[in-house]
Copies of this chain bind each other. A is one copy, B any other.
Amino acid sequence: MAQRKKDYRVIVVGVGMVGSMMVRVLRERKFPAKEIKILATRERIEEIAGRKYQVKVADAQEFDGFDLAFFAGTEGASGASKLYGWEAVSRGVVVIDNGKDFRMDPRVPLVVPEVNAEALKRHQGFIANPNCSTTQMVVALAPIHRAARIKRIVVSTYQAVSGTGSKARVELEQQVRDWAAGKKPVWEQYVAPIAFNLMPQIAGLKHEFPGYYEEEIKMVKETRKILGDPRLQVSATCVRVPVLNGHSEAINVQTAKKLSVAQARRLLAKAPGVVLVDQPDLDQKKLKFLDPRRSRWPYPQMADGRDEVFVGRIREDLSAKNALDLFCVSDNIRKGAATNAVQIAEELVKRNLL
């Protein structure tokens, strides 16, 4: 029997919010990496969680001799995964890409380990990490789908500015500081100020689907691929809200089989990666902030800095047969991006697929 390799040489491509969180999560979770090399568009030193990294300029040869590469998510023709993704695979590296470019590619498994880790078995060296809003939704819905087959999902999102990137986070913070100082807002990341406001648009227009923006179509297509059910119907409205970090989703599901609220709660209480926060009648005069054990329902500041998906507000939808409503919240930079990617790598190690 071949000796299982114990330590891996790892590359992280991109060192914005998601890339640096990938490095942080790799260390937090003690991923067996004997080396972490960071590639980006320019050389510099980056400090991540108290450790300094020499960032190198991305180049095909940099992948030689490495086992695993995380692409943090630059997308499109000049994005790193188009430029170097399959090139890295051809050099023997297993790629986990957080960007959108190859998620729907039939060669590429799109994986949330709690939901469809078995899809990794057929990997061809390139694995995609789903869009943040899709990831938390499928973690919350997979147990319901398996028990009762979801036919239709209507989801409205409440997405934090960190999903846009660190500049958007800085912009919201600056707008709030300016407001407190009595100054007028300045904006650049969005088409209007985001402080004390919200916007029903995430990403660009998707011309094949009139009236839809791209994030909404990602939630349709990626959910079907991850849950392995092309019949699944999804209607999504994606909205940016003035929250720094942590996406929320109000989800309505109609199922083929009747599932009671009690059954759904039992399934979700034991579901991997889920924290059930669902005590609607808890007598809670003052919530001890960030203590989910004392909350009636999940909220973004509860999920900030955590790796799980928090689910609550589970109730029977009175408007249709076999329908449930629920609300889920998750850290979009962690579970929605970096943590899920590292969990994919952990699953590859566990299954000896690396």
Contact = CB atoms under 8 A, between A and B. Distances in A.
Nearest to A160: B196
A242 B239 contact: no
Interface string A209-247: 111110000001000000000000111010101111000
Copies per complex of this chain: 2
A174 to B, nearest CB: 10
A248 B297 contact: no
A193 B316 contact: no
6 contacts: A191-B286, A191-B295, A205-B280, A220-B319, A233-B318, A235-B325
Q: Assign chain A's interface to a size class.
A: 35 or more
A283 to B, nearest CB: 10
Contacts of A325: 235, 237
Interface in A87-108: none
Contacts of A319: 152-154, 220, 233-235
A158 B239 contact: yes
A201 interface: yes
Interface in A308-327: 312-320, 323, 325, 327
A277 to B, nearest CB: 10
A252 interface: yes
A84 to B, nearest CB: 31
B301 A196 contact: yes
A180 to B, nearest CB: 4
B211 A280 contact: yes
A209 to B, nearest CB: 7
Nearest to A284: B191
A57 interface: no
Interface in A283-307: 284-287, 289, 295-301
A311 B261 CA distance: 34
Contacts of A351: none
Contacts of A235: 252, 317-320, 323, 325
B299 A197 contact: yes
A241 B192 contact: no
Contacts of A280: 205, 210-213
A243 B197 CA distance: 5
A53 interface: no
A9 to B, nearest CB: 39
A176 B181 CA distance: 11
Contacts of A299: 192, 197-200
